Amino acid sequence: MFFIRKKLRLKQTEVYVAMNETMSVFQVLLGFQMLMLLIDLIFNTLSILFFQHNTVLLTLYILQDTCLVLSLILLVITFSSTFVFQAGLISLLISRFAHTILISFFYLALCITVHVYSLRLRWDSDGVHVWNYWIGALFVIQKIFAALYYGTVKRSALNLSDPRLRADSKWLHNKVRST
């Protein structure tokens, strides 16, 4: 009897250690996702401050777009780290986080459009302030959409750290039965 109790304790410890390792992976991924949002916010701010310098702006835009692509890759890595994804229920994740995926791709496309259009207008102008209706509208839409992007990605990152998605659970069994 003593041997059996000790063996059960050992199994509980192994499960606890495995859960802590999983938790630490999600904490690291969550930290990186929040860092990417902060970097994007800083690049948006710096692009306003350095609007008169074309080469600095080009560098900032390239770095910002690269960070947005890395943020999307990080989102996919977070998806693939969940138990739901590893169990083959990708459609459940996609249906739950489709709005985040769409908003992320739309925000990336909007940023690239604003960056290309603004640099294209400004690059050949010899220090003349070039600002037309379309660049103003795109700029305002991109900044408003940035707030939506930040909120959506943060909420999804926090939802992806939900313990129900990291391990086999009754909630998951109910979702499988209902689909």
What six digits make up the tokens of 73? 């890759």
What does the alpha-carbon distance between residue 69 and residue 32 come to, in Å, rounded to a whole number?
13
pLDDT band at 21 (very low <50, low <70, confident <90, very high): low
Structural domain boundaries, residue 61 = 2-178
Crossing angle of helices 54-80 and 133-160, rounded to 10°: 30
CA distances in angstroms from 66 to 4, 74, 127, 150, 167, listed in the order given: 54, 12, 27, 16, 32
What letters, b where the CB count within 10 A reaches 16 and e where it falls short, cover 23-54?
eeebeebbebbeebbebbeebbebbeeeeeeb
What does the alpha-carbon distance between residue 152 and residue 103 come to, in Å, rounded to a whole number?
8
Q: How many structural domains compose the chain?
A: 1
Q: Does the pLDDT of residue 7 top 60, yes or no? A: no
Higher pLDDT, 52 or 147: 147
Over residues 60-103, the pLDDT tens digits come to 999 999 999 999 999 988 888 888 888 777 888 888 899 999 99
Tell me the pTM.
0.79
